[in-house]
């Protein structure tokens, strides 16, 4: 059945007042009902503790529905946005003669609303933002008490949070055109200032502050003399007024420029010598010197207008013990340090030059974590809002589609919705360092599957764009956690060259064909398809191939001409650095006949969280933690700019989509406040000397020593040799992406089905030979290839099960390692009679004991042990099943002693593929099985048996039990898994009976419990 909500997500014209919106329920989900009014703005804001205009304040705030208020800070629902919107709506409907604005402002308003633009005309949301500012600056002061109440409110809330600055903020969704709004504001202010030089309401001096160099480069269109100047190219100013704009003085900078610099460079010794025993030398520049350096053009003016782009980075933090720790604390401190530099710089400008007010523009003007305010609460000086939902319903932005379902049934959230929680521990923790070599082929298998799934859909999109004759390719962006991860992903998708152990260079082509930067022979393409952009790469300039300048000569010449037209010096143009060119490549992604026109994939760290405005982005993959919805919206925002602005027959935009994985975006995020944690009772866990008769000692095994056959190879496969390749292991192979409105799409890796079986067989055999069968000189034993190929083929035929996956995924190195480890174990098992397995003990501490247990814990799942059964006073369990097992073993007469392996130090080394891991079994029991000595029985409680359980059990059977029993100095050992937990008592009883009465050396109790004591 067709659902209108998903068939037609766009309800309103981008150029008209929005009159309809989709109704959402309390959880933010669509009800399928269209409401024939504009959507109201609803936000929680901090309420000033001290107010200058108490009487007018309360009517603009509602109650604290979220219960965020504390003694130190009150919060209320903000009504001022809707109230101002209503006044502006009424004012807009008046005849021009009653607007109460200057003739120049009247002319501009009529131009923006009614001019027949040759290209894209200003959207309604852009005009409304400027109308709101005009109403506040020109109209409200002339309306008496009614208008003054709004101005008082803005002043109160702004000065409360920013004591030296008056701030006014506009909230506009990413992709709604904040740069156009800046241009319109500059035009309105400049033209009025030129024609009314005595007025204090207008200025022709503008300081535009951005959070980074990327945004700064993008804002060059605000200069009247720029070749792409919005005033002329987008016809934002009537032609007869353009000459007035030439008198504007505009400075665009990034906030880092506000940091006071050293006036002289001194070594540590030189500084100490000059300072002597006097006061510390102050060699930093003064505020005045900083302003002279950053904005000399504005020094002759008074009361300039400051415009903050991405203004959520600029705030005065409020001292508050918010209980943050770890990465959250580090992130908050980083945010606060940046905000401190930014707002301190603005305060210096206010003191030295003066300013009318600060205009904040941001899609997400919310307080950040650690700011001292509740995370996600709105800046209280926001006066206008056009939200992401508003922008979607007007078709101004693409509709982001995020995972809503996948083929992993037990997951509460689709795995690729928040990919980082599944791969984070496996990714590099720090950025690239010198001498650190990481293997791109060792990316986590879930990440490789996510790349394949999103790339599969990109591949189809790419073909559609080619068929449609679109000259530039769609763009796939990948946002990583640090420079090490970004380089790994970049090499994986685009190709790389590395050295083997002999120093020979080996070419590895990119795994994603459309993103390869090399041809099939390993020669770099002249025009790269994939771009790596991060701080370290910008500094090194190592992403540009030496042939790039030749291949892109025409585009570089065009870039030079543009620089000259913007007033750059000839020396700077003739000596362009690779960093300059690389930055221009990034800034022109998706633009025909420009440096970035050939880019299909961009791999980045933090530089794509904001300010990057390519409109060809169709796919986004997040490979990092997203601690806040603010960051989620910033990154997704890079994909929201539309590719086409053609109106359809209904007067609306056609819907465009951006598919997103790895970013846990929520359309209806609420403020985040962490409640205090209830303290827990702690207990002291230790060995009781009076119970020393129940001491259990065990070997501390570090590794295993075995020799594989030299010539004839055989494999003894067991059920645990089987590798069941499921989406739970590799990540979802089918993911449904959907936006809050609009149609959904299914992402899959089905194209891997075309990879031939022989290709996988050859690759897996080669990997087995190279990783497991080398001679003493490190060379692969090539003469074994035929035998290994037969064994691998047998394993693939009988022990590889693909459920919703494909054998081709064994080409992922991590999965190939797991497969080869299981095949190698089977070969070892078959030869164990001829080549006994031995364990390698810790040379310093070969023996462990229950007498060494001594720790405290607040864990609530614990069992107070029987003094007649256990050396330790408490058994600290991981589940209630383990508590039940404690009860069972304490009541069984054959169990002489037992210990729960927590804080004991009993560890079993094993491998999953090529990765060394540590397995911590659950229990050790001493069993009276009517032998001269007691049997050490290792018990594992398994409620759900995953693939890694097979590797643990194979290690116990093949290596640990056999090896420990072979050295004979630690008694007899056996291992058993308990799987059928609902009948645990009966299963354990059956197990003990088998141990006592059977002469078999491998004990199997139905399919639920298997006992292994090291012999076949």
> Residues 537, 422: one domain?
yes
Mean pLDDT of 812-821: 88
Convert the pLDDT of each residue in 778-802 to its tens digit.
788 888 899 999 999 999 999 999 9
In which band, very low, low, confident or very high, does the pLDDT at 765 lie, cut at 50, 70 and 90?
A: very high
Does residue 485 lie within any of the structural domains? yes
Q: Is the pLDDT of residue 416 over 60?
A: yes
Q: Is 566 helix (H, G, I), strand (E, B) or coil?
A: coil
Convert the pLDDT of each residue in 650-709 to its tens digit.
889 988 888 888 888 776 554 444 344 455 678 899 999 999 999 999 999 998 887 777
Q: Is 558 helix (H, G, I), strand (E, B) or coil?
A: helix
Does residue 886 lie within any of the structural domains? yes
> Residues 886, 967: one domain?
yes
Q: Is the pLDDT of residue 526 over 90?
A: no
Q: Is the pLDDT of residue 191 over 80?
A: yes
Convert the pLDDT of each residue in 947-969 to its tens digit.
788 889 888 988 898 889 888 89
> Residues 868, 807: one domain?
no
- Burial environment of residue 48 by CB neighbours within 10 A (0 to 12, 13 to 18, 19 or more): buried
Give the pLDDT of residue 264: 74
Domain with residue 332: its CATH number is 3.40.50
Give the pLDDT of residue 217: 67
Give the pLDDT of residue 738: 75
Convert the pLDDT of each residue in 402-414 to its tens digit.
887 777 666 667 8
Cβ count within 10 A of residue 764: 25
Q: Cα 77 to the chain's mean position, in Å?
A: 30
Q: Is 149 helix (H, G, I), strand (E, B) or coil?
A: helix
Q: Is the pLDDT of residue 322 over 90?
A: no
CA pair distance 1007, 798, nearest whole angstrom: 20
Give the pLDDT of residue 1013: 57
Which segment of 69-73, 161-165, 167-171, 231-235 scores lowest on mean pLDDT?
A: 69-73
Does residue 279 lie within any of the structural domains? no
Number of domains in the chain: 4
CA pair distance 821, 169, nearest whole angstrom: 59
Does residue 68 lie within any of the structural domains? no
Which of the listed residues 774, 802, 837 is the one where a domain comes to its end? 837
Contact 484, 537 (CB under 8 A): no
Give the pLDDT of residue 1007: 40
Give the pLDDT of residue 795: 94
CA distances 570 to 537, 563, 825, Å, are: 26, 9, 68
Q: Is 978 helix (H, G, I), strand (E, B) or coil?
A: strand
CA pair distance 175, 177, nearest whole angstrom: 5
Domain with residue 943: its CATH number is 3.40.1350
Does residue 686 lie within any of the structural domains? no
Give the pLDDT of residue 410: 61
Contact 446, 730 (CB under 8 A): yes
Mean pLDDT of 565-577: 70
Mean pLDDT of 720-746: 80
Highest mean pLDDT: which range of 321-325, 578-582, 768-772:
768-772
Convert the pLDDT of each residue in 219-255 to its tens digit.
888 999 888 899 999 999 999 999 999 999 999 998 8
> Residues 338, 464: one domain?
no
In which band, very low, low, confident or very high, does the pLDDT at 568 lie, cut at 50, 70 and 90?
A: low
> Residues 453, 591: one domain?
yes
Over its C-alpha atoms, the chain yields an Rg (Å, rounded) of 34
Six-digit token pair at 298?
């504005």
CA pair distance 770, 777, nearest whole angstrom: 13
CA distances 82 to 79, 139, 297, 312, Å, are: 6, 17, 39, 21
Give the pLDDT of residue 885: 93
Does residue 53 lie within any of the structural domains? no
Give the pLDDT of residue 46: 61
Bigger pLDDT: 504 vs 514:
514
Give the pLDDT of residue 550: 63
In sign, the C-alpha dihedral spanning 224, 230, 232, 238 is negative
Does residue 13 lie within any of the structural domains? no
> Residues 257, 388: one domain?
yes
> Residues 420, 386: one domain?
no
Which of the listed residues 837, 865, 881 is the one where a domain comes to its end? 837
Residue-number span of the structural domain to which 743 is assigned: 703-837
Q: Is the pLDDT of residue 357 over 80?
A: yes
Six-digit token pair at 588?
């022109």
Q: What is the pTM of this model?
A: 0.75
> Residues 184, 221: one domain?
yes
Q: Is the pLDDT of residue 388 over 50?
A: yes
**Which among 199, 479, 184 is positioned nearest to 361, based on CA atoms?**
184
Give the pLDDT of residue 539: 43
In three-state form (DSSP H/G/I as H, E/B as E, the rest C), the secondary structure along 620-688 is EEEECCCCCHHHHHHHHHCCCECCCCCECCCCCECCCEEEEECCCCCCCCCCECCCCCCCCCCEEEEEC
Give the pLDDT of residue 310: 83
Which of the listed residues 619, 647, 669 is the one where a domain comes to its end? 669
> Residues 93, 155: one domain?
yes
In which band, very low, low, confident or very high, does the pLDDT at 1001 lie, cut at 50, 70 and 90?
A: very low
Q: Is the pLDDT of residue 420 over 50?
A: yes
Q: What is the mean pLDDT of the chain?
A: 82
Give the pLDDT of residue 48: 54
Q: Is the pLDDT of residue 1015 over 60?
A: no
Q: Is the pLDDT of residue 572 over 90?
A: no
Q: Using a pLDDT cut of 90, give the percent of the chain over it.
A: 33
Give the pLDDT of residue 170: 94
Mean pLDDT of 801-808: 90
> Residues 363, 510: one domain?
no
Q: Cα 895 to the chain's mean position, in Å?
A: 51
> Residues 627, 577: one domain?
yes
Tokens 């509602």 belong to residue: 62
Does residue 925 lie within any of the structural domains? yes
> Residues 658, 755: one domain?
no
């Amino acid at each position: 059945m067709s659902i209108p909500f998903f068939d037609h997500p766009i309800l309103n014209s981008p150029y008209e007042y929005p009159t309809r919106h989709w109704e959402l329920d309390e959880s933010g989900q669509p009800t399928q009902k269209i409401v024939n009014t504009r959507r109201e703005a609803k936000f929680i804001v901090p309420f000033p503790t001290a107010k200058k205009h108490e009487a007018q304040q309360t009517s603009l705030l509602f109650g604290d529905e979220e219960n965020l208020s504390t003694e130190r800070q009150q919060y209320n629902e903000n009504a001022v946005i809707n109230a101002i919107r209503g006044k502006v709506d009424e004012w807009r409907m008046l005849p021009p003669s009653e607007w109460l604005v200057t003739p120049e402002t009247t002319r501009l308003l009529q131009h923006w609303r009614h001019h027949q633009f040759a290209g894209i005309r200003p959207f309604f949301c852009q005009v409304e933002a400027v109308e709101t500012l005009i109403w506040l600056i020109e109209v409200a002061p002339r309306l008496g008490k009614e208008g003054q109440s709004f101005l008082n409110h803005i002043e109160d809330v702004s000065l409360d949070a920013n004591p030296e600055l008056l701030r006014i903020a506009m909230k506009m969704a990413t992709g709604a055109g904040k740069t156009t709004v800046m241009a319109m504001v500059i035009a309105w202010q400049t033209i009025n200032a030129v024609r009314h030089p005595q007025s204090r309401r207008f200025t022709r001096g503008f300081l535009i502050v951005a959070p980074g160099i990327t945004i700064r480069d993008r804002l060059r269109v605000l200069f009247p003399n720029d070749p792409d100047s919005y005033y002329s190219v987008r016809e934002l100013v009537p032609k007869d007024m353009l000459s007035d704009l030439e008198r504007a003085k505009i400075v665009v900078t990034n906030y880092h420029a506000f940091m006071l610099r050293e006036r002289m460079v001194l070594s540590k010794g030189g500084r100490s010598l000059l300072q002597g025993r006097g006061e510390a030398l102050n060699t930093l520049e003064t505020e005045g010197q900083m302003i002279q350096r950053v904005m000399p053009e504005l020094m002759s003016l008074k009361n300039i207008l400051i415009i903050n782009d991405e203004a959520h980075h600029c705030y005065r933090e409020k001292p508050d013990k918010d209980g943050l720790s770890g990465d959250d604390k580090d992130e908050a401190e980083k945010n606060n340090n940046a905000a401190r530099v930014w707002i301190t710089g603005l305060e210096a400008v206010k003191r030295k030059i003066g300013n009318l007010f600060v205009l904040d523009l941001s899609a997400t003007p919310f307080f950040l974590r650690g700011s001292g305010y509740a995370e996600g609460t709105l800046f209280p000086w926001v006066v206008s809002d056009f939200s992401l939902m508003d922008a979607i319903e007007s078709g101004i932005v693409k509709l982001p589609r995020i995972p809503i379902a996948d083929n992993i049934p037990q997951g509460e959230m689709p795995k690729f919705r928040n990919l980082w929680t599944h791969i984070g521990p496996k990714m590099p923790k720090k950025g690239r360092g010198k001498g650190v070599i990481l293997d791109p082929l060792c990316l986590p298998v879930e990440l490789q599957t996510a790349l394949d799934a999103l790339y599969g859909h990109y591949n189809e999109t790419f073909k559609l764009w080619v068929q449609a004759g679109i000259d530039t390719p769609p763009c796939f962006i990948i946002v990583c956690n640090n420079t090490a991860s970004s380089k790994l992903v970049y090499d994986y998708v685009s190709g790389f060259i590395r050295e083997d152990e002999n120093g020979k260079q080996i070419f590895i082509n990119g795994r994603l064909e459309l993103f390869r930067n090399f041809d099939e022979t390993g020669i770099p393409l002249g025009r790269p398809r994939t771009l790596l952009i991060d701080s370290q790469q910008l500094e090194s300039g190592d992403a540009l191939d030496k042939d790039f300048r030749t291949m892109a000569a025409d585009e570089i010449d065009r870039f030079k001409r543009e620089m000259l037209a913007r007033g750059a010096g000839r020396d700077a143009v003739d000596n362009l650095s690779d960093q300059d060119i690389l930055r221009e490549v990034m800034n022109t992604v998706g633009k025909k006949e420009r440096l970035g026109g050939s880019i299909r994939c961009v791999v980045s760290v933090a530089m794509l969280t904001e300010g990057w405005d390519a409109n060809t982005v169709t796919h986004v993959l997040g490979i990092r933690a997203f601690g806040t919805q603010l960051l989620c919206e910033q990154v997704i925002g890079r994909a929201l700019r539309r590719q086409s602005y053609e109106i359809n027959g209904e007067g609306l935009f056609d819907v465009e989509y951006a598919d997103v994985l790895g970013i846990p975006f929520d359309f209806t995020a609420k403020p985040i406040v962490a409640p205090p944690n209830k303290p827990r009772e702690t207990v002291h866990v230790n060995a009781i000397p009076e119970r020393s008769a129940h001491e259990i000692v065990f070997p501390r095994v570090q590794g295993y020593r075995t020799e594989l056959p030299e010539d004839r190879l055989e494999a003894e496969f067991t059920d645990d040799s089987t590798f069941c390749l499921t989406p739970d292991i590799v990540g979802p192979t089918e993911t449904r992406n959907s936006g809050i409105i609009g149609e959904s799409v299914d992402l899959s890796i089905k194209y891997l089905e075309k990879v031939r079986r022989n290709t996988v067989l050859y690759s897996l055999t080669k990997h087995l030979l190279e990783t497991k069968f080398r001679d003493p000189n490190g060379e692969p034993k090539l003469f074994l290839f035929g035998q290994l190929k037969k064994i691998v083929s047998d394993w693939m035929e009988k022990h590889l099960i693909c459920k919703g996956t494909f054998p081709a995924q064994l080409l992922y190195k991590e999965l190939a390692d797991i497969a080869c480890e299981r095949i190698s174990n089977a070969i070892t098992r078959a030869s164990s009679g001829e080549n006994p397995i031995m364990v390698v003990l810790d040379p310093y501490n070969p023996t462990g004991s229950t007498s060494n247990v001594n720790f405290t814990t607040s864990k609530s799942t614990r069992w107070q042990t029987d003094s007649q059964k256990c050396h330790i006073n408490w058994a600290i369990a991981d589940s209630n099943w383990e508590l039940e097992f404690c009860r069972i073993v304490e009541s069984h007469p054959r169990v002489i002693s037992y210990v729960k392996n927590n804080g004991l130090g009993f560890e079993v080394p094993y491998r999953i593929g090529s990765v060394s891991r540590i397995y911590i079994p659950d229990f050790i029991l001493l069993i009276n099985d009517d032998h001269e000595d007691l049997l050490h029985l290792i018990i594992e409680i398994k409620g759900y048996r995953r693939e890694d359980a097979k590797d643990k059990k194979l290690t116990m059977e093949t290596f640990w039990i056999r090896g420990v029993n072979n050295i004979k100095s630690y008694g007899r050992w056996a291992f058993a898994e308990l799987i059928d937990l609902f009948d645990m008592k009966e299963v354990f009883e059956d197990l003990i009976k088998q141990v006592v009465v059977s002469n078999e050396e491998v004990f199997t109790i139905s399919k639920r419990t298997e006992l292994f004591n090291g012999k076949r």
